[in-house]
Chain A
Amino acid sequence: GAGVSQSPSNKVTEKGKDVELRCDPISGHTALYWYRQRLGQGLEFLIYFQGNSAPDKSGLPSDRFSAERTGESVSTLTIQRTQQEDSAVYLCATGGARYEQYFGPGTRLTVT
């Protein structure tokens, strides 16, 4: 596709359940980032993948959060035992040329 795609667009889950969010990058983009956007706030960095290098996980808020990416393909962000404070929009971005990041439309997660 032409841009970054994310699925699902909306996810409602019960507290304590696990969720998996998916990001399909722009073809050829080696860098992939996950950010979280809480209501009325800016974006918080979560995790960064660059090719086959070890990911930068320094932004993950707890060990309930994990992400995977194989090579330069799809990435999944998993949140285990969801809590209400996990409710947010989760945005994926990919980058090819230096410093530019292209964002997907996001997944709106609501934990009830």
Chain B
Amino acid sequence: AQSVTQLGSHVSVSEGALVLLRCNYSSSVPPYLFWYVQYPNQGLQLLLKYTTGATLVKGINGFEAEFKKSETSFHLTKPSAHMSDAAEYFCAVSVGETSGSRLTFGEGTQLTVNP
């Protein structure tokens, strides 16, 4: 079975500062990894995903994440935070088609951006 741990349920940064949201996973098979963002009263929007190939993946809104197998991590970063980045972020893992690509989510990290 797979699991996801997001370190820090709340992260606060200043506008223009680096954003770093941490995600560690466990999986018995090569994982597929995702970051989703959820704005208030909205559904989840896919930010980026890693399936195979290049371990540094770029997503929407200037976010990127790096898959590090040795550290079982998939941390999300953005060089310069904008006020509009304030939202909840979820890391998720899937083990692919054999289990119907169901996603296992972390508990989320609420990002606050201070002016």
A residues touching B (Cβ–Cβ < 8 Å)? Answer: 4, 31, 33, 35, 40-45, 48, 50, 56, 59, 91, 93, 95, 98-106
9 closest residue pairs by CB, A with B: A42-B105, A103-B43, A103-B44, A42-B107, A105-B43, A43-B105, A48-B100, A45-B102, A99-B32
Contact check, A56 vs B100: say whether CB atoms are below 8 A apart. yes
Contact check, A95 vs B101: say whether CB atoms are below 8 A apart. yes
User: CA A104 – CA B38 in complex, angstroms?
Assistant: 11
Q: How far is the CB of B25 from chain A (nearest CB, A)?
A: 13
Q: Which residues of A contact B49 (CB under 8 A)?
A: 99-100
Contact check, B51 vs A101: say whether CB atoms are below 8 A apart. no
| Nearest B residue to A50, CB-CB | B100
| Chain B interface size range | 20 to 34
Q: Which residues of B contact A98 (CB under 8 A)?
A: 51, 96-97, 101
Q: Which residues of B contact A106 (CB under 8 A)?
A: 43
B residues touching A (Cβ–Cβ < 8 Å)? Answer: 4, 32, 34, 36, 41-46, 49, 51, 90, 92, 94, 96-97, 99-108
| Known contacts A4-B43, A103-B45, A105-B43; A43 and B90 CB within 8 A of each other | yes
Q: Which residues of A contact B41 (CB under 8 A)?
A: 105
Contact check, A45 vs B101: say whether CB atoms are below 8 A apart. no
Contact check, A91 vs B44: say whether CB atoms are below 8 A apart. yes
User: CA A43 – CA B103 in complex, angstroms?
Assistant: 9
User: CA A102 – CA B36 in complex, angstroms?
Assistant: 10
Q: How far is the CB of A29 from chain B (nearest CB, A)?
A: 12
| Known contacts A41-B108, A42-B90; A99 and B44 CB within 8 A of each other | no
Q: Which residues of B contact A45 (CB under 8 A)?
A: 102-104
User: CA A40 – CA B102 in complex, angstroms?
Assistant: 21
User: CA A43 – CA B38 in complex, angstroms?
Assistant: 12
Extra contacts besides A99-B49, A100-B46 (14): CB < 8 Å: A4-B43, A41-B108, A42-B106, A42-B107, A45-B102, A45-B103, A45-B104, A48-B102, A91-B44, A93-B103, A98-B96, A103-B43, A103-B45, A104-B43
